[in-house]
Amino acid sequence: MSAIFEVERLKKSFGGLDVTKDVSLSMAKGDRIALIGPNGAGKTTFVNLVTGHLQPNSGRVLMDGEDISKFNPMRRVKAGLVRSFQVTRLFSEMTPEEHVALAILQREGKSGRLAGNFHAMPQVMREMGSILETLNLGTLATVPVGEIAYGQQRLLEIALAMALRPKVLLLDEPAAGVPHSDTFLIENALAQLPDDLAVLMIEHDMDLVFRFAKRVVVLAAGEIIFDGSPRAVTDDARVREAYLGSYAHASSAA
Amino acid sequence: MSATEISAPFEQAKPMRRPWQRDLAGVLIIGVAAVAGYFLFPDNLALLTRIIAIMLLVLSLDLVTGYCGVATLGHAALFGAGAYAAGIAAVTFGITEPLSMVAIGAIAGAVAGLVSGVVILRGHGLAQLVLSIAVIHLFHEAANKASTYTGGSDGLSGIAPDPVFGLFAFDLWGRTAYVFGIGLLILVFVLLRILVRSPFGTLCRGIRQDPIRVSAMGASVKASLIKMYVISGAVAGVGGALNAVSTQVVGLDSLSFTNSAEALVMLVLGGAGSLYGALVGTIVFMWFEHVVSAANPFHWLTIVGALLIAVVLFAPKGLYGTAVTLMKRFIGSRQ
């Protein structure tokens, strides 16, 4: 059993509404999983529960066999569990260079230093340079993020995740808000992620899902209704019903 | 990951000397302004020294408000704590060596920063502002009630600091106090330039722009803010101590809501989020107040109010921030 990340019987309800019902999931090193589901299925809630931004009613989250259910969000990041956001969250007045350097310094526990500057730290500069080059952001390194295009901001979100060197990365709709014609940029960026990193991606763009994922998990009404290969998911009757309701049968009959 | 081993042409491309040159220029400007002030206004050195003390308060406020985005109307608590601590050290405990008094002021300011930071950072937005007002009133009332040490509403008098380094006695014209103040200001300014460029300074700017992103990077927003509050307290405490050393009295007004609110006004006037903005705002506000109140003792507050409205409406980045924007536009249009 080489699961690096496990979720055991996670439950969450808001008032009488069960948003997450008994969700279990496990990921191994190098996994590429897509988490899909219709709107309101509880995908983002799932990410918030796992990253500690919401407290579950019951269930456990384990990293490398260690129970991190009691950790606050910051400690979970330090344990190697990193997320990205559905809507870009960046520092609009700061440059990509500063963003990535800050993430590297934070990872190395140096972000509290009161003196010095990342420009004078060769290994930080080198790593930052290579991350930005990898994501084709090199030419924008010193432009304030508020002035760069949204698609490039999405790439910077991925750059930040890379700079934190996570063991498990949760990507919440990395291509959201990016024109369909530019999705390939995101896809190329995702292809640059380290091979041994376990990645779970929430995404609505099915082309991206099928090209990226080795495994697809479908969440509907707070439950996992499918967990298997991308090829099998389109034929699954429950998945069709979750997405299409009663039309599923009509279309299959046609 | 193998990608990290590729060395990009980044390191050599970055000019490393520029920020230091800019700091040196900043120190030179302060020095030149200080010498000019000394010779142009030899009869107003006490006012100039008071301006320096308030500059330290506004710089300190800039750290939490301009860099971290914490709204506070209670920052004079940190300044007053430094002033009273230095004063009490001299009057009650006989510590009259001026640098020791400043050090005691800095420590007291840092402790006051810790206390008020822990309280104020419990809230957000409006609640934060109200908590900060509560803090300044509590500090004010504590100083008022502890009259055995603080002199209560009569103020704390009888502070007689020794000569600086045992050589330069504090004179009637306030020359020593002025030079002492300039020395402290330059020292604090250089340290703060290092601070705002440091990794911690970058982290704090990140917190102001998006605290959720900062916590998603694994950094504790609250712990960072409290740390900045402590540093800010030390700076304000130095300002308070300077005020105690130079005026040789400490009054309850140093712990007042008015003092806090005026500091915030000066910061907005000069431009929050920049150390130069804090310095410019303090000089302009206090000098304007001095000149206008002498010219028209009845309507000077109206004129100050009009100036503020003009700045907030037409130069929302403050005087310094707007000047920088205009300069950039000017340089950009010439190229």
Split into its structural domains, chain B has a count of 1
Six-digit token string for B308: 């503020």
Closest CB to B213 among A89, A113, A138: A89
Q: Please report whether residue B297 resides in a domain.
A: no
Indicate whether B302 pLDDT > 50.
Answer: yes
Neighbouring C-alpha atoms within 13 Å toward the C-beta of A56:
28
At B217 the pLDDT is 92
Say whether pLDDT at B312 is over 90.
no
Q: Supply the range of the domain harboring residue B71.
A: 17-256
pLDDT band at B276 (very low <50, low <70, confident <90, very high): very high
| pLDDT of B123 higher than 70 | yes
CA distance B87 to B84: 5
- Residue B327 located in a structural domain: no
Digit-coded pLDDT (tens) for B242-257: 999 999 999 999 999 9
The ipTM is 0.87
| Distance of residue A51 Cα from the nearest chain B Cα, in angstroms | 9
Percent of chain B with pLDDT over 90: 68
CB B133 within 8 A of CB B257: yes
B77-105 residue pLDDT tens: 999 999 999 999 999 999 999 999 999 99
Q: Which residue in A has a C-alpha nearest to residue B207's C-alpha?
A: A91
What pLDDT does residue B19 have?
A: 73
- pLDDT in the model for residue A248: 63
Cα–Cα distance between B130 and B72 in angstroms, integer? Answer: 8
Between β-strands A81-83 and A215-220, what pairing exists: parallel, antiparallel or unpaired? Answer: unpaired
- The per-residue pLDDT for B83 is 97
- Quickly tell me which residue has 């230095």 as its tokens: B86
Q: Which two tokens stand for residue B61?
A: 């406020």
- Residue of B6, B7, B11, B20 for testing the chain A interface, max A β-carbons within 10 Å: B11
Task: Tokens for A170, please give them.
Answer: 């949760």
pLDDT over 80 (residue B12)? no
Would you call B217 and A132 a contact, using CB atoms and an 8 Å cutoff?
no
Is-contact B245 B106, C-beta < 8 A?
A: no
B206 has a chain A CB within 8 A of its CB = yes
Cβ pair A112:B199 closer than 8 A: yes
Q: Which residue stretches of chain A have pLDDT < 70? A: 1, 246, 248-254
Residue B4: closest C-alpha in chain A? A127
Residue B214 CA to residue B209 CA, distance in Å, equals 9
Q: Residue B198 and residue A116: Cβ atoms within 8 Å?
A: yes
| pLDDT band for position B2 (cuts 50, 70, 90) | very low
Interface with chain A: mutation pick from B4, B16, B20, highest number of A CBs within 10 Å: B4
> Quick check: is B284 in a domain?
no
Q: Count of A–B CB contacts within 8 Å?
A: 123
- What pLDDT was estimated at residue B6? 38
What does the pLDDT read at residue B80?
Answer: 96
> How many whole angstroms separate alpha carbon A53 and alpha carbon A9?
18
- Return the pLDDT at B5: 39
Mean pLDDT of B116-125: 93
Check if the beta carbon of residue A203 is closer than 8 Å to that of residue A175.
Answer: yes
pLDDT, residue B7, reads 39
B332 against B192, higher pLDDT: B192
Average pLDDT taken over every residue of chain B: 90
The CATH number of A3-89+164-253 is 3.40.50.300
Provide the pLDDT for residue B85.
96
Q: Looking at beta carbons, which residues of chain B come within 8 Å of A166?
A: none
Rg (CA), chain B: 21
Q: Is-contact B109 B115, C-beta < 8 A? A: no
pLDDT at A238: 85
Please indicate if any CB of chain A lies within 8 Å of the CB of B17: no
Is a pLDDT exceeding 90 seen at residue B293? Answer: no
Q: Judge: A98–B202 Cβ closer than 8 Å, yes or no.
A: yes
| Residue of A54, A83, A117 to mutate when probing chain B, most B C-beta within 10 A | A117
pLDDT at position B84: 96
Residue B182 lies in a domain: yes
| Residues of chain A with C-beta less than 8 angstroms from the C-beta of B9 | 129
pLDDT 10s digits, A96-134: 999 999 999 999 999 999 988 899 899 999 999 999 998
pLDDT of B15 > 80? The answer is no
Which residues touch B263 (CB under 8 Å, ≥6 apart)? B54, B57, B58, B61, B75, B76, B79
User: What secondary structure letter does DSSP report for B44?
Assistant: G
Query: What's the confidence (pLDDT) of residue B184?
Result: 96
- Is residue B116 included in any domain, yes or no? yes
* pLDDT value of position B11: 41
Which pLDDT tens digit goes with each residue over A62-96? 999 899 999 998 999 999 999 999 888 999 999 99
The residue in chain B having the minimum alpha-carbon distance to the alpha carbon of residue A132 is B8
CA-CA distances (angstroms) from residue B188 to A184, B185, B222, B228, B233?
A: 50, 5, 25, 15, 12
